[in-house]
Structure 1
């Protein structure tokens, strides 16, 4: 029978479980779940959750002690010129058996003054006893050299970023625009990752946490990516393998991707159409419906209004709203192709644009309340944004040039 990490010893109480907590943190960094890590280390799952998320304990006198959550990042590697935690434990063990500082330094291969300063500097304030783990915490805190971030220390830069965030611009678009607005001023230029970090850690970087709701996702932090399972195809219609090869190059305009953005309980929806070459967005009003007949009729009307050379194909997902694709092809002359099951990346332009649309039409809202005029207004705003993938030209400007072209 294996011994539990919390096996009690006579006169000592429960063990502090420091080593077990360290092993738990290592398993978390490897992506192991809490249940599996607790089962491996033979500890309670509630203990693992407290370690992972931290907790605050209040004693009978009302004094609160906060235990910080474990870090999912591996501890940084420090230079060998600094004492490690293992060396500090070695010092504590040697002091316990009565060895002198010079003897300890000789065994460790360190200078006696290094060991002496370590013991004096990191001695416990109360008991005057050298505690290696407390010494490691104090040394880590002393080694940090925190400084204000670039955004936190520059009110002008912070204001410029906040202004564009309120306009629903992405951090990458903001980063590019700052280089244009402030040429030759490196203090006003930041990479997009700095803006993301300022939003995800506002206490240290200057931006308020509420500004994160202006991001495309509205999230306050990043989510882990997970592999999706495979599903069978819902339709027997043509898949992407039958689509013309010219569509993949994005050099020939007129090939579109489509999808639905749904509202509360999937009872309302807006059809979204994105042209693959220019990124041009069309929002189609469905009058509060999302059935196949309505989608076929409204999407067909929107695409039929385009010039013939700008409506060559339509790629859709496996949604049942495109069940009448054969009749759609007959009425419009536009061939329809379907993505593979559960493969949204095959309509990447459409999926990314749907994320932009969610800034204006959040999840959990009734989309039937928005008029066609409101949809046109939102589409115009998105189409006017600069696009990095198209050399910072807006989708509207690119599409307008192609509209005047009779043949590409």
Structure 2
């Protein structure tokens, strides 16, 4: 005699199992939970934590989705450490393929393929972050392969101030680690010829209104904004404080680097970091 199947009790049993499954603890060990909490407080994202933990055999592997579920379902007090509370992906655009007359400037469209595909190092991107008082600013430099970052406080956005800051930061490196710099079309970059004369490097400029073409430094700017949000008056921020942020960024694992840090990648490329005297 065959057993009878009752659909309503079966459905109720299924729904109960699904509810219990949702209640399972996402990060099972206290040690793993503490690791995640500590790294979130350092400014690491769940994706970076998940990628980095795979390199450490002391902890079991976990996915970034498990970390997000742990935060939102079991420990919502950690939401404040996430870069964004709502998941929203930025639309990506392809570079414009039209030719623009730049005069004495060289368009990014003429930048060699070894720079574009990051097959050679020593190529930098430069950008500025404006203060709330519209007077002082930050200059941010990023090396495209290692993502090594330098931050300098500027007393103004005048071109001479910006060029002096760039020369001071990059002159500590050997010539083969400062081959080119990519800028946007801001007036603070009009003294680029002075930088070329000092560092013997090549300059490239984004297409007009296409600052996203130097997206690596733009992305680092967003990380800096986590320390200094918009409306921050950089007049009240010291260079020493910026140095601490700079070191934190250079010691921060990056997904694009296989979850290594910029300092680790730079040391693999060229040895120990130079020390400013």
TM category (shorter chain) comes to: 0.7 to 0.9
Segments of structure 2 that go 5 or more residues without pairing to the other structure are: 1-5, 273-277
Aligned to 2:87: 222
Out of 233, 242, 262, the residue aligned to residue 110 of structure 2 is: 242
Bigger CA drift: 387-396 or 240-249? 387-396
Say if 1:158 and 1:207, in contact at 8 Å, map to a contact too: no
Out of 32, 38, 48, the residue aligned to residue 173 of structure 1 is: 48
Pairwise CA distance, 1:257: 0.8
Out of 160, 168, 172, the residue aligned to residue 305 of structure 1 is: 172
Out of 233, 239, 245, the residue aligned to residue 366 of structure 1 is: 233
Question: How far does the alpha carbon of each residue in 1:164-209 deviate from its partner, in whole angstroms, 9 at most, with x for none?
Answer: 10111121221133334455x6xx432113323444xx2xx21224
Q: Which has the larger radius of gyration?
A: 1
SS in 2 for 1:177: helix
Segments of structure 1 that go 5 or more residues without pairing to the other structure are: 1-112, 119-137
Pairwise CA distance, 1:156: 4.1
Say if 1:158 and 1:206, in contact at 8 Å, map to a contact too: no
Question: How far does the alpha carbon of each residue in 1:53-84 deviate from its partner, in whole angstroms, 9 at most, with x for none?
Answer: xxxxxxxxxxxxxxxxxxxxxxxxxxxxxxxx
Q: Distance in 2 between matches of 1:398 and 1:159?
A: 27
- Pairing 1:195–2:58 present: no
Aligned to 1:399: 266
Question: How far does the alpha carbon of each residue in 1:279-336 deviate from its partner, in whole angstroms, 9 at most, with x for none?
Answer: 111112213x222221122112222232111110000123222122233323432221
Report how many residues are paired: 263
- Pairing 1:337–2:204 present: yes
Say if 1:235 and 1:318, in contact at 8 Å, map to a contact too: no
Say if 1:152 and 1:206, in contact at 8 Å, map to a contact too: no
Q: Distance in 2 between matches of 1:291 and 1:314?
A: 18
Q: Distance in 2 between matches of 1:295 and 1:277?
A: 23
Q: Distance in 1 between matches of 2:68 and 2:54?
A: 17
Change (3 A) 1:142 1:192: closer
Q: Distance in 1 between matches of 2:271 and 2:48?
A: 28
CA RMSD of aligned residues (A): 3.5
Out of 173, 183, 194, the residue aligned to residue 327 of structure 1 is: 194
Bigger CA drift: 270-279 or 366-375? 366-375
Aligned to 2:125: 257
Q: Distance in 2 between matches of 1:196 and 1:321?
A: 40
TM-score (norm 1): 0.55
